[in-house]
Amino acid sequence: MADAKERVRRLFEEPWKGNWDVLDELVAPEYLGYDSGQAEPLRGAESLRAYLKAYSDAFPDARLTVHEQVAEPGKVATRWTARGTHAGEISGIAATGKEVTVSGLTISTLAGGKISEQWTTWDRLGMLVQIGAVPTAAEA
């Protein structure tokens, strides 16, 4: 299970350090990625790459930190935090220069040594509040 945790950790951390090849190495061709904020699942490494690239372009100094992982055969749960500066457009929202910190949880399924499915929930609303796209309750 340590190997599975390491594979998932690498998929989380390395793209934010510029290692995009890790996607081809660790993501299964049949990959499905479910994100609570996306209407449709991500399908395959290229879809995951496009999704992550949109965020890395919007937050070019972003770093993702894995805090905790719990594993059982074929599954890894990961608690993580991402931090970065909103320096580019994301979801139609122009750069604000504001620093953002969000946290999330992902459950990853592995088959044949590759990540075949992920279910992610993260604080998208918190990100939108931090960049000023959504007012806080005190402002509303």
Tens-digit pLDDT profile for residues 18-38: 999 999 999 999 999 999 888
Confidence of residue 136 (pLDDT cuts 50, 70, 90): confident
Q: What are the structural domain ranges in the chain?
A: 2-130
pTM to 2 decimal places: 0.91
Torsion 54-63-81-75 (CA) sign: positive
Q: How high is the pLDDT of residue 137?
A: 75
User: Does the pLDDT value for residue 70 go beyond 70?
Assistant: yes
Q: What is the DSSP letter of 47?
A: H
The pLDDT of 89-95, averaged and rounded, is: 94
User: Does the pLDDT value for residue 140 go beyond 60?
Assistant: no
The residue ranges of DSSP E strands in 1-140, in sequence order, are: 27-35, 42-43, 63-72, 75-85, 99-111, 114-122
The CATH code for residues 2-130 is: 3.10.450.50
The span from the CA of 61 to the CA of 77, in Å, is 25
